[in-house]
């Protein structure tokens, strides 16, 4: 859809205005993941596309995994934030393929995870096989050990630092 174009008869539809898409991205950058409230849906890379269709904002959202219990909450938070910002009836499309990857987490998102006490994913999800070298988000030591493949959520593993003895979550490469 081009700026100024509008589909007649669509409830709440309006023409795309200059800056709408940039403003929508800015709104989305403030929508935090409910399980890790320091990273936004943009930082996580779960908002894959944003455009204007038939007078409404259209988003493609990919959950971190298909069974993520926070998916509906995230979609509701996205919709509510956009509507409060003046985007009437945003259309959210949940797309499961290709599957979300930790490669989609922004550099800012990785740093925010680390500052929050969660070791961000190391390496690339495309390079499976070798165990990652996981550094402690508290003291930075690489002398860490895996305690459990399952941390506080399914997308995290539980590690412990041998240097400072602190346990911490590691965001697994997916």
Cα(162)–Cα(148) distance, rounded to whole angstroms?
Answer: 15
CATH for 20-94 is 3.30.300.130
Task: Annotate 60-87 with b (16+ C-beta within 10 A) or e (fewer).
Answer: ebbbbeeebeebeebbebbbebbeebeb
Q: How confident is residue 27, by pLDDT bands cut at 50, 70 and 90?
A: very high
Q: What Rg do the C-alpha atoms of the chain give, in angstroms?
A: 19
Q: What's the confidence (pLDDT) of residue 125? A: 58
Q: Which residue intervals of 33-85 are DSSP H helices?
A: 71-84
Percentage of residues of the chain with pLDDT beyond 90:
64
SS3 of residue 167 by DSSP: strand
Q: What's the confidence (pLDDT) of residue 78? A: 98
Q: How many other C-beta atoms can be found within 10 angstroms of the C-beta atom of residue 125?
A: 15
Q: How confident is residue 174, by pLDDT bands cut at 50, 70 and 90?
A: low
Q: How confident is residue 129, by pLDDT bands cut at 50, 70 and 90?
A: low
Q: What's the confidence (pLDDT) of residue 105? A: 94
Q: How confident is residue 119, by pLDDT bands cut at 50, 70 and 90?
A: very high
pLDDT exceeds 80 at position 52:
yes
Which pLDDT tens digit goes with each residue over 53-105?
Answer: 888 899 999 998 888 889 999 999 999 999 999 999 999 999 999 999 999 99
Q: How confident is residue 2, by pLDDT bands cut at 50, 70 and 90?
A: very low
Query: Looking at residues 10-28, what average pLDDT do you find?
Result: 84
Residue range(s) of every CATH 3.30.300.130 domain in the chain: 20-94
Mean pLDDT of all residues belonging to the chain: 87
């Amino acid at each position: 859809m081009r700026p100024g174009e509008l589909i007649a008869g669509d409830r709440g539809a309006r023409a795309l205005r200059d800056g709408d898409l940039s403003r929508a991205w800015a709104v989305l950058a403030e929508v935090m993941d409910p399980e890790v409230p320091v990273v936004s849906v943009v930082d996580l890379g779960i908002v894959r596309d944003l455009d204007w269709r038939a007078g409404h904002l259209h988003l493609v959202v990919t959950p971190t995994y298909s069974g993520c219990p926070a998916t509906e909450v995230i979609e509701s938070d996205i919709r509510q934030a956009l509507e409060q910002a003046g985007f009437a009836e945003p259309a959210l499309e949940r797309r499961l393929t290709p599957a979300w990857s930790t490669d989609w987490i922004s550099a800012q998102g990785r740093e925010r995870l680390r500052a929050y006490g969660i070791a961000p994913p190391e390496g690339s999800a495309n390079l499976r096989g070798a165990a990652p070298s996981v550094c402690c988000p508290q003291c930075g030591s690489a002398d860490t050990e895996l305690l459990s493949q399952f941390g506080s959520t399914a997308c995290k593993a539980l590690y412990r630092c041998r240097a400072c003895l602190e346990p911490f979550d590691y965001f697994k490469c997916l």
